[in-house]
Homo-oligomer: A and B are copies of this chain.
Amino acid sequence: MIHIIPKNHDKTMRNIRLDLEYDGRNYCGWQWQPNQFTIEQTLKEAIEKLLCNPIKLYSSGRTDSGVHAEQHVAHFMSDTTLKQKNLLGGLNSILPDDIAVYRVLDMPHDWSARYNAIEREYRYTFYCNPYPNVFFKPWTYHVKYPIDIEAMRKAAKYLEGEHDFTSFRSTHCDADNPVRTMLELSFRQDGDLLHFCVRGHAFLRHQVRTFAGTLLEVGLGRLDADAIPGILAAKDRHKAGHTIAAHGLTLVAVRFEGDHERFKDEKRPLRFP
């Protein structure tokens, strides 16, 4: 495969941004892997099929196998003369039913979905009921026993701000620096659903799922909320809770400078849940 990485951007070259959503169940996450279906490969092949040219696809980040996205941002350089709305319609006609592009934009040549992102937001959803619900199953983690949400809120507060999150990242995480700043960890109840919202500039591997697993143990009374500072200080992955199932996790948004102003009049379609 040939990757065309334009070195001298001429005037006809465009930096095309795609905002997409996906149901992650059938994919091994975002990043290309040999012999696996991934979102990156599926999207790249759709773009190349539409443009009849190879492209190199850049992304705002990776997602784990099975994670969903309401907004994942990617971009590629191309000299195509296709209009934005035709790129949008064309890509969706090629993409499978579980991946959809909902926005196409031309960005400055030096704009990067990865480096220009100022904030990422994730939502982990718990379905809290003694009995299963088949319609929420694909998007939620089922919690059969009563949970103490106030204890979970108290524990979550300790994780906000700047910390070394070694205890909350995968032992396979390849980031050099385990320090991250969490802007918000909050809980919102909606009937039987409990949404755990996490916002931060960037995240470590498995960080949100390990947050969710650890806070669930607090909610179930198996771990004290006040144990969190000690777990952070230990810098030991074995001290925190399980990394729970990916299918309850959704990448909700990737935010960029200027996006709020750019999309203020845009009516986003309804999303689940």
Q: Separation in Å of the A225 CB from the closest CB of chain B?
A: 28
The answer to whether A129 touches B269, judged by C-beta atoms less than 8 angstroms apart, is: yes
Given known pairs A129-B269, A269-B129, A273-B272, the reply for A134 and B193 (CB within 8 Å) is no
A23 touches B135 (CB 8 A): yes
A interface size (C-beta, 8 A): 31
In Å, the complex CA distance between A187 and B21 comes to 28
Is A226 interfacial (CB-CB < 8 Å)?
Answer: no
- Least Cβ distance of A188 to chain B in Å? 14
Partner of A23, one of B21, B70, B134, B272: B134
B interface footprint on A117-148 (CB within 8 Å = 1, 0 otherwise): 00000000000010111111101000000000
A6 at interface, CB cutoff 8 A:
no
The closest CB in chain B to the CB of A85 belongs to: B130
A134 touches B22 (CB 8 A): yes
In the assembled complex, the CB of A72 is this many whole angstroms from the nearest CB of chain B, namely 11
Interchain Cβ contacts under 8 Å between A and B, 10 examples: A23-B135, A23-B137, A68-B135, A92-B131, A97-B137, A98-B134, A100-B132, A100-B134, A193-B270, A272-B272
